[in-house]
Amino acid sequence: MLDAFGPVPLVEFNAVSNTLSGQKPRVIVSKKVAPYVLLLPFLLVFVGFLIVPMGYAFGLSLFKTALVGGTRFVGLENYARAVVDPKFWDGVWLLVRFGLIQMPIMLSLALIFALILDSGMVYARSFFRVSFFLPYAVPAVIATLLWGYLYGPSYGPVAQLATALSLPKPDFFSPGAILGSLANITIWEYTGYNMIIYFAALQAIPGDLEEAAKMDGASALTYALRVKLPMIVPMIVVTVIFSIIGTLQLFSEPYLITNLARSVINSNFTPNYYAYTLAFVAQQYNYSAAISFLLGAVVAVFSYAFMLLANRGGR
Amino acid sequence: MQSNNGRGLDRRQFLKAGAALGAMTALPMGRALAQEPVNLTVWAWTPKTQDMANRFMEKYPHVTVTVENVGQGAPHYVKLRNAVTAGTGLPDLAQMEFNSIPSFRALNALADIGPLGGNAVKDAFIDWTWSAVSDGEQVYGMPWDSGPMALLYRADIFEKHGLTVPETWDDFAEQAIKLSQAAPGTYLTNFGVDSGWTAAVLWQAGWRPFKTEGTNIQIRINDDIAKNWANYWQKLIDAKAVDTKPAWTSEWFAAFDDGTYASWVTAGWAPVLMQQSMKKSFGQWRASPMPQWEKGGKIASNWGGSTFATFNTTPHLQEATDFAVFMATDPEVARFWNTDAYLFPVLKELINDPTLMGNEYEFYGGQAVNTIFAEAEGQVDPSFEFAPFQDYVNSQIEDNFAMAIGGNGTLADAFDRIQDAVVAYANDQGYTVT
């Protein structure tokens, strides 16, 4: 059945329409070329906005431009400097700690919400689905400004509430709290997104499995944990990899909260923040490009390591 | 010549030529010839700048000026620097703070407008502002507004807790401790992480961190002056006699308004800015001269202020220069900036104008606060130099001060780290560091 919806070459459409109108079938593009013609719009954008800029950035990373002396080719010198740059690795280490707090909380919340929604025990299911997803539709900039206000140390609503109850005001921007405060923002932003992915995967599980499980005497909980969960493991792996990538590229949230938490967020707080400062404050575009590629490599290593781990676990 | 097809001048053309000749003799050379329409783009963040540009267009009808606001502070300079690096997309002129002039000169981005009319208006400006934009006969910007410094304080809080208005920094420290003990949770001031303020206040103390000559640069960030200054504030921070919240947040503004902070060592643009944004403390603020390091001293400083700088990529350098000169020196326009916006003037004529400076503000209990700032304007030492990579220096000041305030080492340690980082950066950028 699925074949009917597989790739249909342009030629056949033409053949049909032309035959109907009594003309000779015309071949505009051959079957072999057709997929590439259809992919062309994507390929153009992909090359123009990803491959070319990446090539340009890689080119940049092999040079060094100084205020005095201009530009010269330095080969891998920028990379040699980057791999031993403590400011870069401090940022990576911070994000590892951040990820270890943020990812388990966010993904388990997403999973729990998805399982509840999928269980069919909830009324107004689509309302909840949309409202959980809504924060993802709020741009990160707005979300951060919003949370920045909520966290306000003297006049934020939380602080006001604490004052009204004569409790000590919580300091969301203290050195010990800042990771949690940032993690909370990203959890709020992305839980709904992950929940939708899980929910879609759960919906794809055939209903007869549930029937079979019930016949065997499984409770709803057992069915969820023993049948549904194992079936969406591949999806969970995918979301973890997305989260690893997203975490290691964290930028907007700490950048926007800097003004409120200057004493805990510095200009190399995360690797992307560091790359931004290098390029746009210190005018070290070349070194910034090298740092960016090194970050790309770190992301690849972390993602690959997790995949190896997941595959081993699966066997 | 092509238009008259080889015949001589016809009557109409003859009349036109005569009129043009007449115009040329009536106007200064060079102006009448450049009457083709000219478009200028200006990047500026101050409000109502387009209104003032419109006045320029009334006087120079062939020039159309478009003012664009691309952001204030870092975003403004990031965009300018990116355009310089890209070699395209620069406006003809931009508003530029005094501390950024050396950085954009180092990028060879600024045009010398001295011979085009810049030097002609030299004497109109307060001396230090002119030294900040010029290098001998070369002129890289028109001073536009300034930030001579003084102390704004809350008369009500001072009276309630029996504080005296500090004349020296020692007095200031004493009052800070006194207030924090008398009213816990209230502070004489906030020591926020603000690189611009830090440089300005150290400027008063005699700190001269940079001396650039061509590709040679002398860097003295952690000298004794800086260390003494650092120890002074460290003591107040350790004694919890000053607060250490981030500056420029809405919470920080509110803290001045609700009496959490009783004073602010600030600049000439602050009085009107505060008047516009604060309600509760109406009528309670007063101004007094900046605290001195030596009793009886008369040294002030400058914080902020800006110029109009012209980029050497502009095809209309003369018109751009005319615009910069007009915005900075036209008497009506210059006056407008002070009365309607919050910019403190740079023109000697306005600083010495008793009606403008003598304006009594109800927000300041009827005090003519501008007189205090006008006096400070004459007490700014012109020998202070910013680095040709000031944004990097600022980011280092902020990162390292933030560490110290967060309890990692002292402010004095921070100065050592900043010195090391900046020296390394200068070497890396090809300067010869001495």
The pLDDT assigned to B33 comes to 53
Q: pLDDT tens across A3-57, in order?
A: 444 444 444 444 444 445 556 667 677 888 888 899 999 999 999 999 999 999 9
> What is the location of CATH 1.10.3720.10 in chain A?
81-314
Which candidate from B392, B398, B429 shows the least CB-CB separation from A262? B398
Q: What is the mean pLDDT of residues B354-364?
A: 91
Q: Is A42 on the interface with B (CB under 8 A)?
A: no
The pLDDT assigned to B234 comes to 97
Is pLDDT of B2 > 70? no
CB contact under 8 A, B395 and A281: yes
- Residue with the larger pLDDT of the pair B284 and A311: B284
Q: Chain B residue closest to A152 (CA)?
A: B251
Which candidate from B245, B250, B429 shows the least CB-CB separation from A67? B429
Share of chain B above pLDDT 90, in %: 82
Which candidate from A259, A267, A284 shows the least CB-CB separation from B248? A259
Q: What is the mean pLDDT of residues B152-177?
A: 97
The pLDDT assigned to A121 comes to 78
User: Rounded CA gap, B127 and B144, in Å?
Assistant: 13
Least Cα separation, residue B116 to chain A (angstroms): 28
Share of chain B above pLDDT 70, in %: 92
Q: What is the mean pLDDT of residues B46-69?
A: 93
Q: Is B409 on the interface with A (CB under 8 A)?
A: no
Q: Is B71 on the interface with A (CB under 8 A)?
A: no
Q: What is the mean pLDDT of residues A84-99?
A: 97
Write down the ipTM of this complex: 0.83
Q: Which of A255, A267, A283, A287 to mutate to test the interface with B (most CBs of B within 10 A)?
A: A283
The number of C-beta contacts closer than 8 angstroms across A and B is 78
**Domain A81-314 fold:** MetI-like fold (1.10.3720)
CB contact under 8 A, A68 and B193: no
CB contact under 8 A, B215 and A155: no
Beta bridge mates, B43: B68, B94
CB contact under 8 A, A155 and B251: yes
Least Cα separation, residue A269 to chain B (angstroms): 10
Encoded amino acid at B203, one letter: W
pLDDT tier at B347, thresholds 50, 70, 90: very high
Query: Is B34 in a helix, a strand, or coil?
Result: coil
Is pLDDT of B402 > 70? yes
Q: Is A67 on the interface with B (CB under 8 A)?
A: yes
The pLDDT assigned to A11 comes to 46
List of chain B residues whose C-beta atoms are within 8 Å of the C-beta of residue A66: 428-430
Q: Are strands B134-135 and B38-43 parallel, antiparallel or unpaired?
A: unpaired
Q: pLDDT tens across B224-261, in order?
A: 999 999 999 999 999 999 999 999 988 899 999 999 99
- In whole numbers, what is the pLDDT of chain A averaged over residues? 89
User: In sequence order, what DSSP letters do the residues of A94-161 get, joined into one string?
Assistant: HHHHHHHHHHHHHHHHHHHHHHHHHTT--SSHHHHHHHHHHHHHS-HHHHHHHHHHHH-TTTSHHHHH
- C-beta atoms surrounding A136 within 10 Å: 18
Q: Chain A residue closest to B395 (CA)?
A: A267
User: Rounded CA gap, B236 and B109, in Å?
Assistant: 42
The pLDDT assigned to B17 comes to 47
- C-beta atoms surrounding A217 within 10 Å: 7
- In whole numbers, what is the pLDDT of chain B averaged over residues? 90
Q: What is the mean pLDDT of residues A145-157?
A: 90
Task: Tell me the domains of chain B and their CATH numbers.
Answer: 23-146+305-357 (3.40.190.10), 147-303+359-433 (3.40.190.10)
List of chain B residues whose C-beta atoms are within 8 Å of the C-beta of residue A277: 395
pLDDT tier at B404, thresholds 50, 70, 90: very high
Is pLDDT of B20 > 80? no
Q: Is A155 on the interface with B (CB under 8 A)?
A: yes
The pLDDT assigned to A259 comes to 87
